[in-house]
Chain A
Amino acid sequence: MDLNHIRNICIIAHIDHGKSTLADRLLQITGTVTEREMKEQLLDSMELEREKGVTIKASAVRMIHRWQGEEYAIHLIDTPGHVDFTYEVRRALQACEGAILVVDATQGIQAQTMAHLFAALEQDLVILPVINKIDLPAAMPDDVAQEIEELLGVPGEEIPRISAKTGHNVEQVLERVIQEVPPPQGRPDAPLQALVFDCQYDPYKGVIAYVRVFNGRVQGTPRMQAMGTGREMEPLEVGVLTPAMVPTHRLGTGEVGYIATGLKTVQDLDVGDTITLAENPAPEPLPGYEPMKPMVFAGLYPSNPDDYEDLRDALEKLQLNDAALVYEPEVSQALGYGFRLGFLGLFHMEIVQERLEREYGLDVIFTAPSVAYRVIRTDGTELLIRSPAELPEPTQIDHIQEPWCRVHIFTPAEYIGPIMDLVTKRRGEVKNQNWLDSKRVELVYEMPLAEILVDFYNELKARTRGYASMDYELSGYRPSDLVKLDILVNGQPVDALSVIVHRQDAYRKGQKLVSRMKEIIPRQLFEVPIQAAIGNKVISRANVKALRKDVLAKCYGGDVTRKRKLLERQKAGKKRMKMVGSVEIPQEAFMSVLRLGDED
């Protein structure tokens, strides 16, 4: 297919603004997928994605549309919808010439709309704004059009007002794509440069690279090379996505398709890398490649030590499909053998956690998440730590640096006060305040990443009745007065409960953790002191009183089986607890560090 009849586009939108529904409608109108084949939100293939209403992994599909007697191949590249996947979003945008910007007619522009929009503008994409959900009674298409006009300079009346749900005006969107999005550029006779914008593991074909060919072409399955990592591959097949994989034996310049790379794990191929031919390589890769950088770390342990091998198998399988997930073995005194996992962000961590429990049926304990701290030792050397346990002796530490990020919050103006309060409690600094219109404002803050990891998003939503939206990007490391807060149970430090906190918060958090532990740790046969300490200094203390009474008042003939089963359940519950020294600690204790809210 010649370049002039190809269009590469993506859809960008805030969560729930209708991206997937619009994609479904486009697939239907172009006949790519028949009614019968149409599942709700076809592109979100994982069960979890459908439930959470967000797209985790990008995918792509080729649609053929006839317009004015000619056939066009429109490649629709789906982008992940969450802040943790900014890098993947950027690579997906890089593969396109145009982007449909979907804005919800009832909600207007939100933080992620902006974040993705700026990313799209950075890639010089042609932006086609559309206003969705005009079928809803609460729709305010004219107000939203006004917002978009102010933002993009597109005359408000020219913005299509659609309903992806009913299909109203969606055909018009396709026409605008063909008319306004430029065809791809590129030199068919140059050496191959194919951008990997996503990759997935297929149990039959190994690692599948989703690619956009910028220059050159693929003919057959010659030996190839990933330029960033230098890894060579012997591809099994190439083809297009309809959205099923259809082998075509060739991929032309400007086209989007897949390469079954023959690689065995997704770790062997990075998103953003450039694939070229081994025999006739391109002189340089396409720009934008960065190796994956996990930002959030947490310990993961099987509830039952016997499940360690199963957990490792599950992680291996998960990693096949999630290149961003990294892990290595870790040993905790309290929790035994487990792993240290690295995630792109808190959302990514939640997804991994749910998948482990849901898809692999594993009962696991996650410890409190931590960011990667930079420790400058007194001898001038530097150490990157991802767990409080790795912190060196205080005497060896010159100072510690922690990652900061720039946070963008979009909110109705009446919530500025509560947000300001939340952000300052979390050591945030005000950077900017941009009015979008008379009612809505964009707030820009600088905050430590550690402060937004734990419950910040939920708290933000709670304080703004769900109206605020946020996005963040890392902005660098800064020195910080950080200390390690240890929790001692029955006089013994429990390593899995240690956290790194800012000195000024240590006392408050220590008290809170101690009182939380006191609630969670069940009464034992003896009194159990719980202490929070910095180094040798105890800053808070509480006692779990000894268990006085745990006995059934009655057990008669009619009760024996029932009472026995009751005791069996009680015993099973006891077994699920972790023995630390001689104290039984329930699993939720290890997660409770996560819920040190700002109030009370």
Chain B
Amino acid sequence: MLQLDHLSKTYADGTRALSDINLTVRNGEIVALVGGSGCGKTTLLRLIAGLDQASIGAIRLDGEALSGPHPSVGIVFQEPRLLPWLSVADNIAFGLDHLNGAERKARVKHALEKIGLSEHAERWPRDLSGGQQQRVAIARAFVTNPKVLLLDEPFSALDAFTRASLHEHLLALWEETRPTVVLVTHDVQEAVTLADRAVVMQPKPGRIFDELPLTLSRPRDKTGLPFETSVRRVLTALDHSLNTPQQQPQRERDRQAAALWW
């Protein structure tokens, strides 16, 4: 269980990026953070990843406080961030240095098959398309078998077709080990396609506006009415979050309510 308790982040120049974030994510749950730009989604993800330190509050994973990059927490960035001097296979194996050669090879081979890039194993990242590179980045995060996987708008730079196929690759990988996933996105369709719950955030300072459970059965039919309804619900919440900056919604009951729901 990933718990965020009263998380706040104030930058050195006084900008309040996040204010009192409380969120509990069950094991194996996929949570989508949606919200307008500048509402601290990425900041929140960087805090969980341990790349930045929270000003106030704590992050706990199964009761253990996180205070820096943790072996059980993986992240996929907005850009692939592959190391250009390593082959595709070596990029995927980057986080597997602690394993012996055979185990490492087996995991990389499996991941390559899973993302459909087996025949590209020995190529340079520069020879791959953007979508292929992002698949490699996702595989690099998955092969370490993280308990929590953080995705920072990983599909935002891709076209719609590539994005849809990457959603499938991601869900296929997720099915295997069922890690907890926190996905930052500005694409409501994407949130409804992937997530069990959408957390709508509000800017200045970044805080949680509302939480919407997305209980559609998988695999999700993107043309069906329930899907449309969910998209509309999230959009409505997003609209409210941007139009009522002064309003203080159910922040206090967030945690309790979430606990009751799940």
Q: Is chain B a partner of chain A in the same complex?
A: no
